[in-house]
């Protein structure tokens, strides 16, 4: 189950979905109703699951578009059933739902010990189709396997209780990228792989099975100048030149996804070497220190390879005190995206 939430982790949701389905994914998962409808509008068909909250006023769209949704608790289930009722009574199929079980994330979902009402509703309602049951593993990318084994044990106990009552949980899924790589027992009926499909490990300490980053981010210098010693650079003058220094200006800033925390900390690639960011990252501009004179139009690589040097989202994450997920999903719609390797049919 290819996860394409957050605009395909910043890569373009429709294009990522097309690629994943063409490569053999049986279906897709997103975080919100809006993301699901965006994919349908983009021509994406087949199995599609909304893993987050589905408001009652969107149920009609979910039924019309044949989108599966997560059921979070008994009250949520009753809301979904009430909204699905008139459509089903007119001949539409029941709304397909996946029961979300909170086994240790303490986020969305019903607690195993408090699931009786939701389970009874699913077993009885003619307006809901119990298509699947799932949980989310909070620590599957960590070195200590204990917490993940505990969550899986809670989940299996919950599933066993359902089966003892003659109830079928449908499609059972738990594994994210970290669990799919490290916990074979978590793979169950399906795996929900997200960050791994885009070439990144969820934590840099995991053994890499050959993943390569999908995204490269490139720009060009729009101005180059030589500054005299003692010149303050960018807002607040947080950097001053110590001697004569060449600087180049890149027409991208925090509005395009370059974290402001990369100010005076991060690097880009220019002419096959790392060059540091000088001064504060601006809304739409970033200033680099160049070891020698450059020229307008010189290629700058933010993420990707230039010569023998490589920068990836984990490099940026270390400089910005965050994770690769935030870096990748931070590249907003202002940046044009070029999807290479498409076939003639658009895939």
| Integer angstrom CA distances of residue 303 from 213, 271, 311 | 9, 14, 5
Same-domain pairing of 114 and 227: no
Q: What is the C-alpha to C-alpha distance for residues 52 and 72, in angstroms, rounded to an integer? A: 8
Domain that includes residue 61, residue range:
2-198
Q: Which whole number is the average pLDDT over 69-95? A: 98
Tens digits of per-residue pLDDT, 104-135? 999 999 999 999 999 999 999 999 999 999 99
Residue 347: pLDDT band with limits 50, 70, 90 = very low
Q: Which whole number is the average pLDDT over 221-247? A: 97
Same-domain pairing of 17 and 133: yes
Same-domain pairing of 140 and 176: yes
User: Which residue in 127, 165, 200, 235 is the catalytic one?
Assistant: 235
Domain assignment present for residue 116? The answer is yes
At 269 the pLDDT is 98
Domain assignment present for residue 136? The answer is yes
Domain assignment present for residue 183? The answer is yes
Q: Which whole number is the average pLDDT over 45-53? A: 98
Domain assignment present for residue 207? The answer is no
Same-domain pairing of 150 and 34: yes
Same-domain pairing of 236 and 152: no
Domain assignment present for residue 211? The answer is no
Question: Does residue 235 carry a catalytic annotation?
Answer: yes
Same-domain pairing of 115 and 233: no
The domain spanning residue 12 has which CATH number? 3.20.20.10
DSSP assigned state of 335: S
As for how many domains the chain has, the answer is 2
Structure tokens at 249: 């200006």
Tens digits of per-residue pLDDT, 12-27? 999 999 999 999 999 9
Residue 298 has pLDDT above 90, yes or no: yes
Q: Which whole number is the average pLDDT over 253-260? A: 96
Q: What is the C-alpha to C-alpha distance for residues 285 and 132, in angstroms, rounded to an integer? A: 47
The domain spanning residue 311 has which CATH number? 2.40.37.10
Per DSSP, the three-state class of 135 is coil
Domain assignment present for residue 147? The answer is yes
* pTM of the shown model: 0.93
Same-domain pairing of 186 and 243: no
Same-domain pairing of 60 and 129: yes
Q: What is the C-alpha to C-alpha distance for residues 264 and 243, in angstroms, rounded to an integer? A: 17
Strands of the sheet containing 223-227, edge to edge, are 223-227, 245-250, 286-290
Domain assignment present for residue 90? The answer is yes
User: Which residue in 5, 200, 239, 254 is the catalytic one?
Assistant: 5
Domain assignment present for residue 13? The answer is yes
Q: Which whole number is the average pLDDT over 214-234? A: 98
Same-domain pairing of 107 and 12: yes
| Integer angstrom CA distances of residue 5 from 35, 156, 195 | 7, 27, 10
Q: Which backbone phi and psi does 64 adopt, to 5 degrees?
A: -60, -40
Question: Does residue 116 carry a catalytic annotation?
Answer: no
Same-domain pairing of 251 and 186: no
Q: Which whole number is the average pLDDT over 149-157? A: 98
Same-domain pairing of 174 and 254: no
Q: Are 2 and 28 in contact (CB under 8 A)?
A: yes
Same-domain pairing of 119 and 75: yes
Q: What is the full DSSP assignment across 167-201?
A: ----EEEEE-HHHHHH-GGG-TTEE-B-GGGGT--
């Amino acid at each position: 189950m290819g996860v394409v939430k957050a605009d395909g982790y910043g890569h373009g949701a429709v294009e990522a979905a097309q690629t994943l389905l063409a490569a053999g994914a049986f279906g897709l998962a997103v975080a919100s109703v809006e993301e699901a409808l965006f994919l349908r509008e983009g021509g994406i068909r087949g199995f599609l699951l909304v893993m987050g909250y589905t408001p009652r006023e969107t149920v009609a769209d979910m039924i019309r578009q044949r989108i599966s949704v997560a059921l979070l608790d008994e009250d949520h289930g009753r809301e979904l059933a009430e909204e699905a009722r008139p459509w089903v009574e007119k001949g539409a199929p029941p709304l397909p739902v996946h029961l979300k079980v909170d086994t240790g994330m303490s986020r969305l979902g019903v607690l195993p010990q408090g699931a009786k009402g939701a389970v009874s509703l699913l077993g009885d309602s003619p307006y809901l189709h119990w298509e699947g049951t799932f949980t989310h593993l909070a620590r599957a990318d960590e070195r200590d396997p204990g917490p993940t084994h505990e969550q899986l044990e809670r989940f299996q106990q919950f599933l066993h209780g359902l089966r003892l009552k003659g109830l079928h949980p449908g499609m059972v899924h738990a594994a994210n990228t970290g669990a799919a790589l490290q916990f074979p027992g978590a793979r169950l009926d399906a795996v929900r792989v997200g960050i791994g499909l885009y070439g990144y490990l969820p934590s840099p300490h995991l053994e890499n099975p050959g993943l390569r980053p999908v995204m490269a981010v490139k720009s060009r210098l729009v101005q180059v100048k030589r500054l005299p010693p003692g010149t303050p650079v960018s807002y607040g003058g947080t950097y001053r030149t110590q001697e004569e220094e060449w600087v180049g200006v890149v027409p991208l800033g925090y509005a395009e996804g370059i974290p402001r925390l990369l100010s005076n900390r991060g690097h880009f690639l220019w002419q096959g070497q790392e060059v540091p960011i000088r001064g504060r990252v601006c809304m739409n501009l970033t200033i680099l220190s160049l070891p020698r004179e450059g020229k307008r139009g010189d290629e700058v690589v933010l993420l990707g390879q230039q010569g023998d040097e490589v920068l990836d989202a984990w490099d940026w994450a270390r400089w910005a005190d965050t994770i690769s997920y935030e870096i990748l999903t931070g590249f907003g719609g202002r940046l044009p995206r070029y999807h290479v390797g498409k076939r003639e049919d658009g895939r």
